[in-house]
Amino acid sequence: MAGMKEIKARIKSVESTMQITKAMELVATSKLRRAKENVERTRPFYQTLGTAINDIISASADIESEWFLPRSVKKTLFIVFAGDRGLAGGYNSNVFRVAEELSRDAVGIWLPIGKKSLEYAKHKKHEILTDSFECAGEMGVGDMLALGDIVSDGYRCGEYDRVIMIFTEFVSMMTQRVVYEELFPLNQCASGKSSEMESDCDGVEMLDKIIPNYVGGILYSALCESLASESGARRTAMNSANKNAEEMIGTLMLKYNRARQAVITQEITEIVSGAEAL
Amino acid sequence: MKAFNLKVVTPDGLLFDSEVESLLIRTDDGDVEFLAGHIDYMASIGTGRARIKQDGKDRFASVSGGFVTVKRGVVNLVAITFEFRENIDLDRARAARDAAKSAISSSNDDKAIRLAKAKLARAVNRIDVAEM
């Protein structure tokens, strides 16, 4: 049986770890609340954006624009949304697993968002488009609009022929799901029938303005979903870490008390047999 | 006057979803006014003023970026920013205008100047709408 001193030391170390995980859980909970509100706010934006762009795309069937030109896929851009920090359960690794599966058979170039994502892409030696989107937690609408411009420009210039973004959808406080969405090529028959829409300005010029905006908006939604998911995953992970620590302290306490009892019993036996010997 | 459904969304959420009588907005090719029964339509919008007529009353707002579509009688306005006149923070807009002005005069990086100019246009637009 381990000595009392060692057991005491272990209890202390588990307790101090628990203090940290408890604090992290509290932080994640408060961040989660804010992130959840954010997600709920952006969802109607995302939906309206989606229907509006589908209407525009199906109405632009006769517009000859490089956005719709069919091309053979030589290179694919993967936009990978992950967190800035670890200790969030499987949050980061789940995203990377899906990204790896998707990029297995493709010539890919990565655009990592979040510190962990950048580290991973560097570690795996993937080609990286830009590393200026490192801090996922500090980015806002403006950054995503700028990113929308970069991504759209690259597609139009033919740097890549397909764009897929991988992010974590915030289903509920307890459940987050990794999903991916194809941003380019734009699917012209997505909404089925092509319909007419009037416009006063030049169609090509208008699409050139609308599409980067649209991409930026979609990316912003994905960012909000990812941030909420990260907090959710971290809260769940920290919660179970707390439970484990509590359990561990319980068993260690039991062990400690047993060891203490054994020492006392031994002392009594020694005293009694000493007295008998006299 | 006949009314139609107008939805205004920005990344900050669904800001407006209601029956209105008209929407006047500055597109990249000039002002366009939508009334009930407008033909399916699309346009990209720049930075400017919007006027919404609801129950006979005019409401003004500053808008920047995005696009507007009309489909089956529903008008969707997808904007980057959209603020009703009464919600504009004039002090903040003035501060943003001054910051953008000094950024333009002190910087010589093309990209930074372009960003600052866009910021300046948005700030000036807000001030214009608020001081109307």
* A49 contacts chain B (CB < 8 A): yes
- Of residues A135 and A239, more confidence is placed in A239
Task: Indicate the angle between helix axes A4-59 and A203-277, nearest 10 degrees.
Answer: 170
Q: From chain B, pick out residues whose CB is under 8 angstroms from the CB of A51.
A: 71, 76
Whole-number pLDDT of residue B75: 92
B43:A59 CB<8 A: no
Euclidean distance between CA atoms A57 and A62, whole angstroms? 10
- The residue that leads in pLDDT, A176 or A196, is A176
Distance separating alpha carbons of residues B10 and A25, to the nearest angstrom: 32
CB contact under 8 A, A51 and B76: yes
The domain containing residue B36 runs over which residues? 4-86
Residues B30 and B80 in one domain: yes
The reported pLDDT for the residue numbered A188 is: 61
Which stretch of A48-57, A85-94, A243-252, A267-276 has the lowest confidence by average pLDDT?
Answer: A48-57
Could you tell me if B16 and B79 lie in one domain? yes
Q: Express each pLDDT in B32-73 by its tens digit.
A: 999 998 988 888 888 889 999 998 889 999 998 888 988 888
Tokens of A151: 């991504």
Query: Does residue B53 share a domain with residue B71?
Result: yes
Average pLDDT over residues B12-36: 90
Tell me if B78 and A49 make a contact (CB, 8 A cut-off).
yes
pLDDT, residue B51, reads: 93
**Residues facing A182 on adjacent strands:** A164
Q: How far is A113 from chain B (nearest CA, A)?
A: 19
Confidence of residue A105 (pLDDT cuts 50, 70, 90): confident
The most confident of the ranges A14-18, A42-46, A188-192 is A14-18
Pairwise CA distance, residues A142 & A52, whole Å:
21
* Mean pLDDT of all residues in A167-193: 81
pLDDT computed for residue A254 by the predictor: 95
Lowest average pLDDT, out of A56-60, A210-214, B92-96, goes to: A56-60
B44 lies in the same domain as B97: no
Q: Which of A35, A84, A80, A22 is nearest to A237 (CA)?
A: A22
CA distances to A94, A113, A238 from A107, rounded to whole Å, are 21, 19, 37
If asked whether residues B10 and B68 sit together in one domain, one would say: yes
B61 and B106 inside one domain: no
Task: Specify the pLDDT at position A246.
Answer: 95
CA B51: distance to chain centroid? 9
The full 3-state SS of chain A, as one line of letters, equals CCCHHHHHHHHHHHHHHHHHHHHHHHHHHHHHHHHHHHHHHHHHHHHHHHHHHHHHHHHCCCCCCCCCCCCCCCCEEEEEECCCCCCECEHHHHHHHHHHHHHCCCCEEEEEECHHHHHHHHHCCCCECCCCCCCHHHCCHHHHHHHHHHHHHHHHCCCCCEEEEEEEEECCCCCEEEEEEEEECCCCCCCCCCCCCECCCCHHHHHHHHHHHHHHHHHHHHHHHHHHHHHHHHHHHHHHHHHHHHHHHHHHHHHHHHHHHHHHHHHHHHHHHHHHHC
For an interface test with A, which of B7, B14, B38, B42 has the most A Cβ atoms less than 10 Å from its Cβ?
B42
B17 and B68, same domain (yes or no): yes
Mean pLDDT of chain A: 87
B61: CATH? 2.60.15.10
Closest CA–CA distance from residue B44 to any residue of chain A (Å)? 6
- Residue B21 pLDDT > 60: yes
Share of chain A above pLDDT 70, in %: 95
Enter the tokens of residue A163: 């764009």
Residue B99 sits at φ, ψ, to 5 deg, of -65, -40
> Spelled out in words, what is the top-level CATH class assigned to the domain A2-21+237-277?
mainly alpha
Does residue A13 have a pLDDT over 70? yes
Contact A206 B42 (CB under 8 A): yes
Instruction: Please tell me whether the overall predicted TM-score, pTM, comes out greater than 0.95 for this model.
Output: no
CA of B46: which chain A residue's CA is closest?
A209
Q: Are residues B27 and B75 in the same domain?
A: yes
Residues B46 and B32 occupy one common structural domain: yes
Of the two residues A105 and A123, the one the predictor is more confident about is A123
**Nearest by CB: A209 against B11, B28, B69:** B28
pLDDT at A211: 87
CATH top class, domain A31-236 = alpha beta
